[in-house]
Amino acid sequence: MMKPVRIALDAMGGDHGPEVIIPGAARALERRPDIRFTFFGDATVVQPILDSYAQLAKTSSLVHTDVAIRMDDKPSQALRSGRRTSSMWLTIEAVKKSQADVAVSAGNTGALMAMAKTCLHMMPNIDRPAMAAIWPTIKGRTIVLDVGASIGADAQHLVNLAIMGSAMARIVLAVERPHVGLLNIGSEEIKGIEEVKTASRMLRQNAFPNLDYYGFVEGGDIGKGTVDVVVTEGFAGNIALKTAEGTATQIGQWLREALGRDMFSKIGYLFARKAFAELRAKLDPRNVNGGTFLGLDGIVIKSHGSSDAVGTANAIEIAYNMARHDLLSKIRESLALSHAENLSPPKLLAADKS
C-alpha cells in the first residue's frame, strides 16, 4: 500500500463548522481510503460528530483547541487572537512541522492567507502568495491564477505564477508541458498593461522546461479552454472568477424561470430531466470547490466558507492530489530550473512583438 496522505483539517472553519466538515471528511475517505486526517477544533463539539463515522474515527486523530477564527475576523485580528492557538493556525502548523502533508480550511480567506504566510513563509524567489482555481471549461479544466490572494503583479511575479500554475496543471491535467496564456484585453497597440507585456516577452524568450507559452488570452478564452493555465494578477483574476460564477447563477435562474412558464415547458423539463441533471452537475459550484494557495513553503487548500459536505470532500480531493503528486517538489524544481538557467533579463531589451 502507498504511504498515506496526511491531511490537517480545520474542523471549525466555514459557515457551518464541524457539522459539514466531518461528514465531508468521511465522504472524502470513502473515495480515498489512504487519507489520514488530523482534525483541529473544539473536542466537545467535534468528537460527538466524529463518533458517528466509525471508519473516519478509527483512522483519524483530533487535536483539541477552543480557539476558533471567526468568518468576519480581519487578518490582523485573527493573528492577534489566534496565532499558535486557533484551529486554523494549528492546521497550518501541522504542515510546517511535517506532521501533515497538506492543510485544508474553510475559514476566512484573509485570515488563512495571513496565517499561512506567517507560519509557513514564502518559497525562495517568490515574494507573495497566489490562489489558484480549477475552472471548468468546454474542453475540461483550466488552472486560473491568481484569483485574489495578491493585488497587482510585476512581470517577474506573473512569470512565477506561470511556473507555479504549470506545476499544478501537470498534476491536475496530467500534461507534461501545459499551455500557458497571459490574460490581457486585446492586441491593439494602445491596449495591454505594461507588466503583462513584459511578462509575455520573458515567457516567450526564455525556454521554460515545464510549460509551453501560448501568448495572450482574453476573458472569453478561459471558458473555452484555449489554454491549460491562465495567468493574471489577483484583482482581475478574482473579478473574472466571481463574474463567471455570477453569470452561471444568472443563467441557471433564467433557465428555471423559462421552464416554469407554462405546462408545455414543465412537461419538456420532465422528459429532459436527465439532461438538466447533467447540466446542473456541471454548474454545481461544489464541484469546483477548493482554492490552492501557491508560493508558500507548504500546501494549503482553501475550501469555500459556505461549502456543505460535498463541497468539503471536493476540496479535500484537491488537497489529496496536490500532496499525493507532490506539488511542492514540482514547483521547487520548476522554479529552480527557471531562475538558475533560464531567466535572462538582458534579452528583455530586444524589441519583441509578442
Cα angle 93, 94, 96 (rounded to 5 degrees) comes to 60
Task: Answer yes or no whether residue 271 interacts with a second copy by CB under 8 A.
Answer: yes
Please say whether the beta carbons of 337 and 174 come within 8 A.
no
Stretch near a second copy under the rule CB under 8 A, chosen from 53-61, 254-262, 331-339, 340-348: 254-262
- In angstroms, give the least distance from the CB of 222 to a second copy: 6
Q: How many CA atoms lie within 13 A of 112 on its CB side?
A: 30
Segment interacting with a second copy, rule: CB under 8 A, options 27-35, 57-65, 88-96, 258-266: 258-266
Distance CA 165, CA 61 (A): 32
Site string for a second copy, 125-164 (x = CB under 8 A): ------------xx---------x--xx------------
Minimum distance, C-beta of residue 243 to a second copy, in the bound complex (Å): 4
Binding span for a second copy by CB under 8 A among 20-28, 46-54, 241-249, 305-313: 241-249
Among 1, 2, 190, 349, indicate the residue that binds a second copy (CB under 8 A): 190
Cβ-count burial 329-353 (b if 16+ within 10 Å, e if not): ebbbebbeebeeeebeeeeeeeeee
Residue with smaller CB distance to a second copy, 29 or 229: 229
Binding to a second copy by CB under 8 A, coded x per residue (else -) over 46-65, reads --------------------
- At 214, the amino acid letter reads Y
Q: Which residue, 48 or 186, has its beta carbon nearer to a second copy?
A: 186
The piece of 13-21, 96-104, 164-172, 185-193 that touches a second copy (CB under 8 A) is: 185-193
- Contact segment (CB under 8 A) with a second copy among 40-48, 167-175, 278-286, 303-311 equals 278-286
Cβ count near 103 (within 10 Å): 33
Residues linked to residue 135 through DSSP beta bridges, in sequence order:
142
Give the residue, chosen from 6, 16, 125, 192, that forms a contact with a second copy under the rule CB under 8 A. Answer: 192
Residues 6-32, buried b or exposed e (16+ Cβ, 10 A)? bbbbbbbbbebbbebbbbbbbbbbeeb
Q: Tell me the site size for a second copy, rule CB under 8 A.
A: 71
Nearer to a second copy, 110 or 209 (CB): 110
Other CB atoms within 10 Å distance of the CB of residue 262:
10
CA distance 242 to 175: 27
Residues 103-122 within binding reach of a second copy (CB under 8 A): 108-111, 113-114
Nearer to a second copy, 28 or 78 (CB): 78
Minimum CB separation of residue 290 from a second copy in Å reads 18
Q: Kindly state the cell numbers that stand for 63.
A: 487535536
Least separation in angstroms between CB 152 and a second copy = 7
In whole angstroms, how close is the CB of 179 to a second copy at the nearest point?
A: 17
Q: How far is the CB of 279 from a second copy (least distance, A)?
A: 5
**In whole angstroms, what is the distance from residue 212 CA to residue 210 CA?**
7
Please state the separation of Cα 164 from the chain's center in Å: 12
Tell me the DSSP string of 112-149. HHHHHHHHH-BPTT--S-EEEEEEE-SSSEEEEE-SSS
Give, as ranges, the residues between 195 and 224 that touch a second copy (CB under 8 A).
Answer: 218-224
Q: Name residues contacting a second copy, limited to 67-86 (CB under 8 A).
A: 74-76
Q: For the CB of residue 329, give the shortest distance to a second copy in the complex, in Å.
A: 29
State the DSSP string of 160-227. HHHHHHHHHHHHHT--SS-EEEEE-S-SSTT-S-HHHHHHHHHHHHS--TT-EEEEEE-HHHHHHT-S
Residue 193 is a binding residue for a second copy (CB under 8 A): yes
